[in-house]
Structures are given as C-alpha cells and as structure tokens.
Structure 1
C-alpha cells in the first residue's frame, strides 16, 4: 500500500494495522472514522514505528495508545 498520499483508505489501513499488531483489547475505541488526514504524517510515523517492533512493554503500549488518542479528531 502506498502511504505517501493522505487518504481515508490509508488512515483505515494504518489504524487497522496498529490495532492488529498491538492486539488491542478495546479495539472499538480506535475506529478509523475517529481519525482524519489532518495529522496524517504523525499517524504514518506511528504506524511505521509500531510495524517495525516485534513486542511492546506495557508502558510502551500505554504511550502508543495515548499518542493515538491525541491524533483523534475532535
């Protein structure tokens, strides 16, 4: 998938990928429609960082979820 262009489809792809990788228990809290392309670059950076890692500590998981929360649209 080409993530260089901001689009709703790319946002959906990245959010779903992050949720799968983190095995989020409350995945409904992070629905793709809660995000838009305004902070697209930050979302791409977070997605790429999450996909590179094999495992996360509990504190890293909390930080990632907090960052996702800050990227949500109001």
Structure 2
C-alpha cells in the first residue's frame, strides 16, 4: 500500500488499521467511508502515532477515537 498518495482508499485503509490496532469495540461506528481525502494528513498523523506504539492507555484510545470523530464527514 502506497500511503504517499492522498486517496479515499488510503484514508479508508488507515482508519481500518487504526481501529484494529486500538481494538476499538464500537468499530462499526467508525468506517473508512466516513472520511475523505481532505482529512488525509490528519488521519496519516493518527495512523503514524498508532503504529509507533505497542500499547495504549484507555485515555489515549478515547482521545484518538474522539479525534477520528472530529474528522468525520458531516
């Protein structure tokens, strides 16, 4: 996967990877289709953050999920 390209597919891929890494229970509420390439840079930052760590506290998970919520399409 070439994440240097700002595409809807890459955004959806990163969102799914973030959900899996965080083991988000309510993952169905967060779908790649809720985002578009306009949020690519912000989602890439979250993706890089999530991939840089092995474990997350509950408050970190909540903050990341909240940030994804803010980035969703209206």
TM (norm. structure 2) is 0.95
State how many pairs are aligned. 74
Which runs of at least 4 in structure 1 moved beyond 2 Å after TM superposition?
none
For the aligned residues, what is the CA RMSD?
Answer: 0.7
- Per the normalisation by structure 1, the TM-score is 0.95
Structure 1: which 5+ residue stretches go unaligned? none
Unaligned 5+ segments in structure 2 are none
1:19-38 Cα shifts (integer Å, max 9, x gaps): 10001101101111000111
Distance in structure 2 (CA, Å) of the matches to 1:15 and 1:47? 8
